[in-house]
Amino acid sequence: MQLPLFEYHRPASLDEALATLGTAGSSLAVLGGGTDLLINLKLRLERPRALLSVRELPELAGVSVDAAGTLRIGAGERLTDLATHPLLVARYPGLAQAIRAVGSRHVRNMATLGGNLCLPTRCWYTNQSEGWRGSQLPCWKTEGQVCHVIKTASNCRAIHSADSVPALIALDARLLLRSSQGERELPLADFYRDDGIENNVLAPGELVIAVLVPPARLRSVFVKAAARTGLDYGYATLAGALGGSNRAPKSLLLVAGSVGTMPMVLHQSARIILADGLTEASIEAAADAARDDLGEVTNLFTPPGYKKRLVRGLVRRVLNELRRQKLPAAD
Amino acid sequence: MTRQLITLIVNGDRYQVPVAPHETLLDVIRDQVALTGTKRGCTSGACGVCTVQGEDGRAVLSCLALAIEWDNRPVTTIEGVAGEDELHPVQKAFLEYGAVQCGACTPGLIMTAKALLDENPDPDEEAINEALAGALCRCTGHIKVKIAVREAIKAMVADAAAEDSHGV
Amino acid sequence: MASRKADLAVVGRDQPRLDGAHKLTGRSLFTDDVVLPGMLHAKIVRSPHARARILSIDTSAALALPGVKAVITHADAPKLYVGIEQPLFRQEIVNYIGDEVAAVAALDEATAAEAAALIKVEYEPLPALFTIQDATRPDAFLIHAKAKGNIAWQQAQDLGDVEQGFAGSAHVRTDTYTTNASHNCYAEFHVAIADWSLPDKLSMYTPTQTAILFQKSLAGALRLSDGQVRIMNLNTGGGFTGRTSVRPHHDVAAVLSRKTGRPVKVRATADEEFIACRAGGEVKYTFRTGVSDTGQIKAFEADITFDTGAYVESQMIVLTLTSSYIHSLYKIEASRYSGRLVHTNNIPYYFHHGGGLAQMAFGLGQHMDALARELGMDPIDFHLQNGVTKGHTSMTGTFFGSCGLAECIRKTAKQAGWKRKYGKLPPLKGIGIGVGAMASGAKGVFKHDTSAAFIKIVDDGSMSLFVGLPDMGQSSHTAMAMIAAEVLGAQATDITVISGDTDIVPLDVGALIQRGTFNTGNAVKAAALDARKQLEVLAAARLGVKPSQLVFRDRQVYPKGQPDKAIPLKKIVYDTLHSREGRFVMGRGFYNSPKESGTMAYSFGAQIAEVTIDPDTGFVTVDRIVASHDVGRAINPRIVEGQIDGQVFSGLSQVLYEQTLLENGQVMNPSRLDYRLPRSYEMPKVEHIIVESIDPFGPFGAKEVGEGPIVCTLPAVANAVANALGEPVNEMPITPWKILQILGRRAKARAGS
């Protein structure tokens, strides 16, 4: 597969990048590590006139903790560097695990966090070559009027499978966005939309600058159920972050990934644990309750019924691991 | 389509090559620099046969790297791994322990294994699996590849020890 | 006469592959690396419909595109058939998604792709058939008029008195299984470069397992004589039964080259690979076996239906292979076979790794295991009781001159700790055994099964060995050099193996039906003996002994028992040439099985797999494989291990991971990412036990190791999963969802009881 023709811009500064982004609009695609974008270009899923390479911008670099204890991760950071970053490994093990679960080591050497946060959804009716797609009626994503996965769906139900996202949402992370108009911050959970095409709320001209993780001492775990370890999209993933003790948990967020167009927060399962603490019985009950929160899952690559069973198993696993994990040390 | 003249530094040699933005590092290494040891496989990052090392020594999928981004940045390809008359310890181990069969994935596997050992001279089983998972090998099923990587580590440790004992 | 191991200087010792350093340094050339002067690039226009009528083809826009040199359609190759019944391009009806309709050659790949997209084909879509079940309904339309009932080919046979066999059985068990479509997925994609710029010679670079079949097939299709077609297979990046026949892209490259007068290259793109390669389709099996109350098989019946897809080529061979397999493994007194190839509007199928037999063994192994359990027998005892033995002649006429089956079973069981584990493992852990047999070559493709070899020795003692056997990774060329070196008292590294060019090398049916080591090995041995005979003349005279008293070893020649009198081999060679007679040493030899049909030798194996099931996800982890294989003689032991490893990988991968997922004839996972082959994490440790039964007919006693191990892996892993679940699994691959479903059902049943 060959890439289509495009122009290439490497802005010297963030301001230049934002200015270019502001004027070019949708004819411009932002290039991070390229490990997803270039594949989609080869498949002719996107046809930008130009690519804007942002990876080298200094404002997008760095992992730091401010005086208040907020962790800031630049969107241009490579996933390999993050997965092995001592601070992440020690204090945010679930996040390090999640980042390590993205693609293969080869991919993580190139891919950026920003790229993973903005990962388009994926579906086997669309993420195919142009020739292949010629055998199918166009779907929502390819300018048609149907979803091949869920026939009754009124929008695209392709799967969001960015592994870092559930882990960050479980940590209550916020996203820092900037455009030539200014800067804004929003909870990462609010960044995503229940639509396989426009799956986030990034405004035209906006660029993801960094992720901010609020200060908190949490235990955190991420598990991915994929056919293969080390290179695969998950059938489902689950991230959990827990504050407090096993007996008296103070906070718990459980977030499932790769089950639909956006990450799904499992409120009911978390409520059970927050009420009863982490016990064998509560873990089983929380696992059983996952089904209610999942609602409609996208059964793509797997037959109906499997993903819900799988998430049930993953909730059990994540909670058991959280129960065993030691609270990360304070600084 | 405008082409830009860039300097590609491959295995220490500098090549002035005109590249268009859409040309991948893989295309340019194979078609313009004429080093065909770097293989063309799935061209979508899943098979690893196109693996080269970037300036930081890490494994790079040359099918997903734009050549234009590699101006003046060193790249190591399979042709740059062996010494003048001697194979690299990873290559030696692959040969001796039967980790090379059809050879189509071999350059990618060697680059992958070398990138691992350049970064981490003493990887555990997990790190070996992590590194190799991005490269596909149907013939060996990775079994002898994993053995060869472990043997290469031993040989490199032994070499280093021998060098130390001779002193400088 | 079989040589003792100690008598052998080269054979039986680890020899790194001779082309290894080239492969490891990026110097090895593959077809995709070849650039010929003036070479054009081609793209194929394929049908997007599983079945449709072609209403019109408009190539004008494509032809008008700058850089386009030729466009071809059915009109350019009206009587050109790929295989038996597949026209190179369709004129009227397309029969599968991917069916070739046109092709274009241009200056570069991008232009060719652009031009291909500009070729406007109008279709009228027609109903299509996608399953064996639908295609065999009485009212189903016919995909090809001559294939009544959509049966492309069928074979039935009774051996012995089957009815009496079942009537006299104390227990009869029937099981049905399904194996799904799968793909070979080798590292090197399908590619061909054709140069037919001059009318009387077509040269083609392409990876292949058999240059001779490619030569014959292309010559026949393109109306050339065999000698006018030159096949150059440089390195072949994996075979796995997937490169045994010409595919349409080979003919496309040739026709475009003729039309343009320039070399033309076609390379499959990532997803096209899944169409161009074809691999294996869905298969449905019913096995019925009758046994005495002591577990002796009295009668066996197999009914097998293969989805052969839109066209047949030479897939009918799978019927012959599957019909006789049981007789190569068990002593059978009566058997019935009924097999058929059914047309559908899926991809034309061929074979996946294991050639139809490994896939059959998935069910057959579970069936026999279940039968043994039903009788209260340990499966190991069942296999030992019924397995073939040395000296046995099967009902199909095969004589087993060597047989290490029982030794394999016993040694594997001992090393795996079978007695300690079988039936005693904790929940969700399983152990299973698979046994198998495999032919080392067979007549059937042609009347002969010939391999030939030349060897020349130059006066520094170095040698060139010419063979037609391709090496697609199995290290056969190194094995051939070792055999020649053993005979001539040389080292394998003294020998350069020349292969991969039909203009140069002698005939060889190729690397299929696991015939390389056995047939080509025997040919090489004969050629080396012929060369040695030429050297013996001078050596015997110098040393004053009879030629039969001479020993050739370690680059020396000496009288038996008197190594102190040794003369360097290269001196003998030098003096043989540098004399008044000027004798240049050239050995030649060939081997053809003396049998009318069938196989001279079978290899045998037994594998034991241990697995763990994850009840949360349904994933299966293979924890350990113990693999023993009777290879007759291991020419190159570490390479033999590597062959076993690769097949263990492929076998467990087929049982647990691989599937070409189809929806209305379209491959849904046509990529190296979504067609899930396991990788480093998923591979267990493999323990090898090499059994050497020293076959009386094999070169130095050697038999095949090309597919013998894989026919053991599939049943071993399947039986281990069945053991962990407590019931057989009737469909391959065994998916996580299937596992969770079974676990859920069994838990419910337990709760209810």
Q: How far apart are CA C201 and CA C195, in angstroms?
A: 8
Q: Please tell me if residue C749 touches chain A, with a CB cutoff of 8 Å.
A: no
Strand partners, C412: none
User: How far does B68 lie from chain A, in Å, by closest CA?
Assistant: 8
| Region C343-355 average pLDDT | 92
Question: What is the pLDDT, as a whole number, of residue A175?
Answer: 98
Tell me C43's DSSP state: E
**Are C616 and A314 a contacting pair at CB < 8 A?**
yes
Interface probe for A, chosen from B49, B51, B66 (most Cβ of A below 10 Å), is B66
- CATH number, domain containing residue B10: 3.10.20.30
Catalytic residue among C581, C707, C727, C731: C707
Residue type, C216: K
Degrees (nearest 5) of the Cα angle C448, C450, C452?
155
**Are C189 and B77 a contacting pair at CB < 8 A?**
no
**Are C681 and A302 a contacting pair at CB < 8 A?**
no
Pairing of strands A207-213, A71-74: antiparallel
Using CB atoms, list chains with 3+ pairs below 8 Å to chain C. Answer: A, B
Task: Tokens for A269, please give them.
Answer: 């399962």
User: How far does C649 lie from chain A, in Å, by closest CA?
Assistant: 14
Q: What are the backbone dihedrals phi and psi of residue C381, each rounded to the nearest 5 degrees, phi first?
A: -65, -35
Q: How confident is the model at residue C2 (pLDDT cuts 50, 70, 90)?
A: low
Pairing of strands C335-343, C297-309: parallel
- Identify the domain boundary among B30, B57, B80: B80
DSSP calls for C535-603: HHHHHHHHHTS-GGGEEEETTEEEETT-GGG-EEHHHHHHHHHSSSS-PPEEEEEEE--SSSSB-S-EE
DSSP calls for B13-58: EEEEEEE-TT-BHHHIIIIIS---SS---SSSSSS-TTEEE-TTS-
What residues does each domain of chain C span? 5-29+445-591, 34-127+187-238+243-276, 283-440+599-752
Per mean pLDDT, which range of A26-30, B18-22, C53-57 is the poorest? A26-30
Question: What is the pLDDT, as a whole number, of residue C197?
Answer: 96
> CA A7, A12, A15, A17: dihedral to nearest 10 degrees?
20
User: How far does A79 lie from chain C, in Å, by closest CA?
Assistant: 20
The per-residue pLDDT for range C474-506, each reduced to its tens digit, is 999 999 999 999 999 999 999 999 999 999 999
Is there a shared CATH topology between the C34-127+187-238+243-276 domain and the C283-440+599-752 domain?
Answer: no
CATH class of this structure's domain C5-29+445-591? alpha beta
The per-residue pLDDT for range C365-406, each reduced to its tens digit, is 999 999 999 999 999 999 999 999 999 999 999 999 999 999
Regarding whether B94 and B64 lie in a shared domain, the answer is no
Number of domains in chain B: 2
- Identify the domain boundary among B80, B101, B122: B80
**Are B129 and A229 a contacting pair at CB < 8 A?**
yes
**Which residues in chain C have Cβ-Cβ distances shorter than 8 Å to B99?**
642
Q: How confident is the model at residue B124 (pLDDT cuts 50, 70, 90)?
A: very high
- Identify the domain boundary among B80, B98, B120: B80
pLDDT exceeds cutoff 60 at C1:
no
Q: How far apart are CA A219 and CA A214, in angstroms?
A: 14
CA proximity to A254, closest of A159, A318, A305: A318
Q: Please report how the helices C476-488 and C521-543 are oriented relative to each other, as an axis angle in degrees rounded to 10.
A: 20
User: How far does B167 lie from chain C, in Å, by closest CA?
Assistant: 31
Regarding whether B104 and B143 lie in a shared domain, the answer is yes
Q: List residues of chain B with CB under 8 Å from any CB of chain A.
A: 1, 20-24, 43-46, 48, 51, 54, 58-61, 64-66, 68-69, 112, 129-135
Regarding whether B155 and B99 lie in a shared domain, the answer is yes
Of A4, A53, A229, the CB nearest to B22: A4
pLDDT exceeds cutoff 70 at C753:
no
Using CB atoms, list chains with 3+ pairs below 8 Å to chain A. Answer: B, C
Of C97, C113, C676, the CB nearest to A228: C676
Q: Please tell me if residue A127 touches chain B, with a CB cutoff of 8 Å.
A: no
Task: Kindly list the structural domains of chain A, giving each domain's residue range(s) and its CATH number in brackets, ordered by start.
Answer: 58-117+159-324 (3.30.465.10)
Regarding whether B12 and B59 lie in a shared domain, the answer is yes
Q: Please tell me if residue C49 touches chain A, with a CB cutoff of 8 Å.
A: yes
User: How far does A268 lie from chain C, in Å, by closest CA?
Assistant: 20
Half-sphere exposure of C124 (CA within 13 A, CB side): 6
C492 neighbors C482 (Cβ within 8 angstroms): yes
The per-residue pLDDT for range C415-469, each reduced to its tens digit, is 999 999 999 999 999 999 999 999 999 987 788 999 999 999 999 999 999 999 9
The per-residue pLDDT for range B77-86, each reduced to its tens digit, is 999 999 988 9
Strand partners, C52: C94, C125
**Are C680 and B96 a contacting pair at CB < 8 A?**
no
Q: Which fold has domain C283-440+599-752?
A: Aldehyde Oxidoreductase; domain 4 (3.30.365)
Question: What is the pLDDT, as a whole number, of residue C600?
Answer: 95
User: How far does B96 lie from chain A, in Å, by closest CA?
Assistant: 26
E strand or H helix that includes residue C110 = helix C109-118
Per mean pLDDT, which range of C187-196, C236-245, C557-566, C578-587 is the poorest? C236-245
| Region C704-728 average pLDDT | 97
Using CB atoms, list chains with 3+ pairs below 8 Å to chain B. Answer: A, C
CA proximity to C255, closest of C70, C97, C469, C129: C70
Structural domain including B18 reads 4-80
Q: Which fold has domain C34-127+187-238+243-276?
A: Aldehyde Oxidoreductase; domain 3 (3.90.1170)
Of B91, B95, B104, the CB nearest to C238: B104
Task: Reduce the DSSP state of residue C153 to 3 states and report it.
Answer: strand
| Region C681-710 average pLDDT | 97
Q: Please report how the helices B125-132 and B143-166 are oriented relative to each other, as an axis angle in degrees rounded to 10.
A: 120
Regarding whether B133 and B110 lie in a shared domain, the answer is yes
E strand or H helix that includes residue C344 = none
Greatest C-alpha distance within chain B: 58
Task: Tokens for C718, please give them.
Answer: 């399947």
What does pLDDT average to over chain C?
96
Cβ contacts of residue C351 below 8 Å, gap of 6+? C241, C242, C244, C279, C280, C315, C318
Annotation says C707 is catalytic:
yes
Greatest C-alpha distance within chain A: 59
Regarding whether B94 and B76 lie in a shared domain, the answer is no
Q: Please tell me if residue C267 touches chain A, with a CB cutoff of 8 Å.
A: no
Interface probe for C, chosen from A44, A130, A132, A317 (most Cβ of C below 10 Å), is A132
Interface probe for A, chosen from C658, C673, C741 (most Cβ of A below 10 Å), is C673
Helices (H) and strands (E) in chain C, counts: 19, 31
- CATH number, domain containing residue B106: 1.10.150.120
pLDDT exceeds cutoff 90 at B3:
yes
Regarding whether B157 and B107 lie in a shared domain, the answer is yes
